[in-house]
Chains A and B, each alone.
Chain A
Amino acid sequence: MVLLIPFLFTAKALAKDKCQPDFTIPPPPKSLTKVSTDIKKNPVYVFFDGSLSMKGFVVKQPPQESIYINLLDQLISAADDLGSETLYHKFGRKIKQLNEKETQRMTQQNGYDCIDAATDCELDNKETRLDKVFKAITVEDDATYIITSDLFISSEELTGIRFEKMEQPLKEILRKGKSIGVLGVMNSFNGIIYDIPTNEGGTITYAGAKKRPFFVLIIGDQANVNFIKERLKQDSLMDKEDSYKFSLITSNVIKKNLNLSKSITEENLMNINSGDEGYKFTLTDEGIPIFRFKVSQGRDSVKFKFKKDDIIVKESNSVAEWKWDETLWTSRETKCKKILWRKAKLDNFSHAEIKGEDFNINIFGKKNFDGSKLRWGWRYFVVSNLYTGKNGTAAADTFSEWSVDKADAESFTKKEPKIFKTLNLVRMIKKLNFVAEEEFEPTLLASIIVDFDLEK
């Protein structure tokens, strides 16, 4: 059951007692206010790339193991487990729904051949119309969509109207807070690679590749994307860490709002001792942590530490920039009876960074902030709201070694490589990233309140 907590959507004006100024806490992001108590099953749509260039993945070439065949089996099983119903499709030039028997054939050579050399079929399996598949993924909001393909996409498909056709549905799903998981697997290949662009403007084919990557795009809620990914990792990719890469593209890479989940505790405060005189920790009903303490002027910042994996969606494009919305109040009197809060002009004085496995927050830790401006003998009240400022581009880097540009495609083919790269893969991933970036909205990760006396 999914519970929405409507009262959380309004900014809270909180003035707990006369010892605190009147302050406002922004509401947590709607996308993170869903509290799932169980998983509601929704339909799963699976789309198999039925073009001829995929055939090489199912034609066995012992002793090489074909991960593709096994992975497709496990994918079907995982999709069945995840969905209330699972609908299978094959796509080329058109999208065709598959029955159970036809679905099984996708793991066999004859799934890619035209049975009776029908003209329709011959035409159909010579194209990979991903745009049509992407258009279909907007049909049902709560569904999960899985697409298998070699993502061998021509430059023409990544420009102009043809890309717009792909871009619009992607924007729509990212705007709805959905994610795109890209699982790439280096697999044995025994077939022909079509449509390799030449410098003269034509295309060539290549049959010398023994290996090339295929991709599984999983589109839907992050939890469902992870469910499918984990199942495939466990069932088909165990002990094959070198053979696959995964990246998650999403407009929101934040796992949870730390206030909603009440994840900020005294343990996170690193450089203040909870045993010190005057120390007090309060967690409001809204999950806002208030740290009260005394600190000497020599301390340059108030440091918090969190585990990165508790905050950032694993294997996602991560966060490139953080944004602060901070308010500072000062009082020359420290005692409650005499306190007179004044709102300071200082803002944006804190720093957040991902360092290794940690996520660090330093209040007053911004590099060019001159901490000596703060007067000892005064009391300070800081409300810091931390937002994501810009998503990262880790996803494109992950797949760069498997990608070849149009300009290099011909010369790469002439080298007769045994391991063939995917045309315009990085460009495609970058396009997806760009779409995610366009739909990016700053997400409130946490609100933290620090109330301290600065001593000499």
Chain B
Amino acid sequence: MNVINIIRSVLLTSVGLGGFATLSIILIITLFTGPSADGNLTDFFESMTAVDELAELGETFAGVATSMFIMIAWLNVWLLAFTVIFSFGWSIGSHFLNVDAPGKAKLYAIHWFIVSGAFIALVIFINGFILNLSDFQAAQDITKTGTFTLTVYTTLYYTLAYYVSVLLGTARFVRSSVLLANKLPGNI
């Protein structure tokens, strides 16, 4: 194990995650400060809101928008946090995988699948918890379709962020065998 290699992994993971995290942080800040009333983001969240039900209760999307933006912002904070933890966790942890026999690197693919599966499950769980079970009042205002859409979008986005970051950050001696089942060409 080489500390320099680990630092290199951390840097590469940061590079892989950086773009996704920046976009996510911009979204989070925008949601906390309140997006433009006429913007696409507002329209997107309005399309996921049960506006007819709210209208029956005398309420409008404008009335619940702020609390909804805050809820979605917190959702992204949690998802980003766990993506960072899992990405760096795997990238650093991959250096501790002991490849001391032929074909053993491929065996660690099981570890990879378990960690990645746990990550995806956690992303889905966080979505489910915040959008259904949490104390955010706005969770009641999202339609079932909206909940599903948000879950799919965030799962895809943060899984991709996680995958790209670990693709770059995983220890070189296991990267090909573990992450890509020996399909990665050349010296990447």
**A, B: real partners:** yes
B1-28 Cβ-contact flags toward A at 8 Å (1 or 0): 0000000000000000000000000000
Instruction: Determine the chain A residues whose CB is within 8 A of the CB of B43 once the complex forms.
Output: none
Pick the contact of A330: B59, B135, B140, B141 (CB < 8 A): B59
Smallest CB separation, B138 vs chain A (Å): 10
Would you call A342 an interface residue if the criterion is a C-beta within 8 Å of the partner chain's C-beta atoms? yes
Interface size on B, residues (CB 8 A): 12
Instruction: Determine the chain A residues whose CB is within 8 A of the CB of B59 once the complex forms.
Output: 330, 332, 342
Assess the A344–B140 pair: CB atoms within 8 A: no
B108-145 Cβ-contact flags toward A at 8 Å (1 or 0): 00000000000000000000000000010100110000
CA A342 to CA B64, docked complex, whole Å: 13
Instruction: Determine the chain A residues whose CB is within 8 A of the CB of B63 once the complex forms.
Output: 332, 342
CA A456 to CA B134, docked complex, whole Å: 10
Would you call A346 an interface residue if the criterion is a C-beta within 8 Å of the partner chain's C-beta atoms? yes
Pick the contact of B57: A344, A376, A377, A456 (CB < 8 A): A344
Would you call A329 an interface residue if the criterion is a C-beta within 8 Å of the partner chain's C-beta atoms? yes
CB proximity to A under 8 Å, residues B79-93: none
Assess the A332–B58 pair: CB atoms within 8 A: no
CB proximity to A under 8 Å, residues B136-183: 137, 140-141
Smallest CB separation, B73 vs chain A (Å): 19
Q: Is the interface of A mostly helix, strand, loop or mixed?
A: loop
CA A404 to CA B53, docked complex, whole Å: 56
CB proximity to B under 8 Å, residues A324-338: 328-330, 332
Would you call B38 an interface residue if the criterion is a C-beta within 8 Å of the partner chain's C-beta atoms? no
Pick the contact of A375: B55, B135, B137 (CB < 8 A): B137
CA A346 to CA B56, docked complex, whole Å: 5
Interface centre among B53, B55, B56, B57 (most CB of A within 10 A): B57
Q: In chain B, what residue has the closest Cβ to A297?
A: B140
CA A344 to CA B56, docked complex, whole Å: 5
Assess the B58–A329 pair: CB atoms within 8 A: yes
CA A346 to CA B58, docked complex, whole Å: 8
CB proximity to B under 8 Å, residues A290-344: 328-330, 332, 342-344
Smallest CB separation, B154 vs chain A (Å): 24
CA A342 to CA B63, docked complex, whole Å: 11
Would you call A355 an interface residue if the criterion is a C-beta within 8 Å of the partner chain's C-beta atoms? no
A345-383 Cβ-contact flags toward B at 8 Å (1 or 0): 110000000000000000000000000011111100000
Smallest CB separation, A26 vs chain B (Å): 21
Instruction: Determine the chain A residues whose CB is within 8 A of the CB of B56 once the complex forms.
Output: 344-346, 373
Assess the B135–A373 pair: CB atoms within 8 A: no
Interface range on chain A (Cβ under 8 Å from partner): 10 to 19
Q: In chain A, what residue has the closest Cβ to B141?
A: A375
CA A346 to CA B141, docked complex, whole Å: 17
Pick the contact of A344: B58, B135, B137, B141 (CB < 8 A): B58
Assess the B58–A456 pair: CB atoms within 8 A: no
Q: In chain A, what residue has the closest Cβ to B67?
A: A332
Assess the A375–B140 pair: CB atoms within 8 A: yes
Q: In chain B, what residue has the closest Cβ to A345?
A: B56
Instruction: Determine the chain B residues whose CB is within 8 A of the CB of A456 once the complex forms.
Output: 135
Instruction: Determine the chain A residues whose CB is within 8 A of the CB of B64 once the complex forms.
Output: 332
CA A342 to CA B57, docked complex, whole Å: 8
Pick the contact of B53: A329, A343, A373, A378 (CB < 8 A): A373
Q: Answer whether A345 and B140 are a contact pair too, CB < 8 Å, given A332-B63, A456-B135.
A: no
CA A312 to CA B137, docked complex, whole Å: 43
Smallest CB separation, A308 vs chain B (Å): 33
Interface centre among A328, A330, A375 (most CB of B within 10 A): A375
CB proximity to A under 8 Å, residues B42-80: 53, 55-59, 63-64
Smallest CB separation, B66 vs chain A (Å): 11
Instruction: Determine the chain B residues whose CB is within 8 A of the CB of A377 once the complex forms.
Output: 137, 140
CA A2 to CA B59, docked complex, whole Å: 48
Instruction: Determine the chain B residues whose CB is within 8 A of the CB of A343 once the complex forms.
Output: 58
CA A375 to CA B140, docked complex, whole Å: 7
Instruction: Determine the chain A residues whose CB is within 8 A of the CB of B135 once the complex forms.
Output: 456
Instruction: Determine the chain B residues whose CB is within 8 A of the CB of A375 once the complex forms.
Output: 57, 137, 140-141
Assess the B137–A332 pair: CB atoms within 8 A: yes
Smallest CB separation, A7 vs chain B (Å): 31
Smallest CB separation, B3 vs chain A (Å): 50
Q: In chain A, what residue has the closest Cβ to B58?
A: A342
CA A329 to CA B58, docked complex, whole Å: 7
Smallest CB separation, B111 vs chain A (Å): 40
CA A330 to CA B58, docked complex, whole Å: 7
A133-162 Cβ-contact flags toward B at 8 Å (1 or 0): 000000000000000000000000000000
Assess the A345–B55 pair: CB atoms within 8 A: yes
Smallest CB separation, A401 vs chain B (Å): 50
Smallest CB separation, B133 vs chain A (Å): 10
Smallest CB separation, B137 vs chain A (Å): 4
Instruction: Determine the chain B residues whose CB is within 8 A of the CB of A374 once the complex forms.
Output: 57
Instruction: Determine the chain B residues whose CB is within 8 A of the CB of A330 once the complex forms.
Output: 57-59
Smallest CB separation, A423 vs chain B (Å): 55
The 10 nearest A-B residue pairs measured at CB: A342-B58, A344-B58, A377-B137, A345-B56, A330-B57, A344-B57, A375-B140, A346-B56, A330-B58, A343-B58
Q: A330-B58, A345-B55, A374-B57 provided; 10 other pairs, C-beta below 8 A? A: A330-B59, A332-B137, A342-B58, A342-B63, A344-B56, A344-B57, A375-B141, A376-B137, A376-B140, A378-B137
Selected A-B contacts with CB under 8 Å, 10 pairs: A332-B59, A332-B63, A342-B59, A342-B63, A343-B58, A345-B56, A345-B58, A373-B53, A375-B141, A376-B137
A residues with a Cβ closer than 8 A to B are 328-330, 332, 342-346, 373-378, 456
B residues with a Cβ closer than 8 A to A are 53, 55-59, 63-64, 135, 137, 140-141
